[in-house]
Amino acid sequence: MRLVFEEEDKSIKLDAHIALRIELALNLSEHKREWLLLGDRLYDWSIGRAVDPIFKVDKQQYEWVVAFIEKHPSASPPTTCGT
């Protein structure tokens, strides 16, 4: 099972490994306090805590996650849907 981030007509699926890598990067970013819920969901998913696998994000958060993945090609590739 994967964590799914949804933003309007786009979505991205993340496994626990990449969720943790993104959460750690978020903790070091300028958004660490602003995006607490995003960080909490990433962390909870990465440690196997029972959370809803669908998480709505705004456009800025979605683009930040996608940019992180593009900058770190060694990360597990996500599954994206939509246009």
Cα dihedral 48, 73, 61, 7 in deg (nearest 10): -80
- Which residues have a Cβ under 8 Å from the Cβ of 45 and sit 6 or more positions away? 3, 14, 16, 19, 51, 53
Distance of CA 34 to the CA centre of its chain: 15
pLDDT in the model for residue 5? 80
**pLDDT tens digits, residue range 17-58?**
999 999 999 999 999 999 999 999 999 999 999 888 899 999
Element (H, E) at 12: strand 10-14
The angle that helices 16-27 and 59-71 make with each other, rounded to 10 degrees, is 110
- In which band, very low, low, confident or very high, does the pLDDT at 83 lie, cut at 50, 70 and 90? very low
- pLDDT of 24 reads 96
Q: What is the pLDDT of residue 35?
A: 96
Q: Is the pTM of this model over 0.85?
A: no
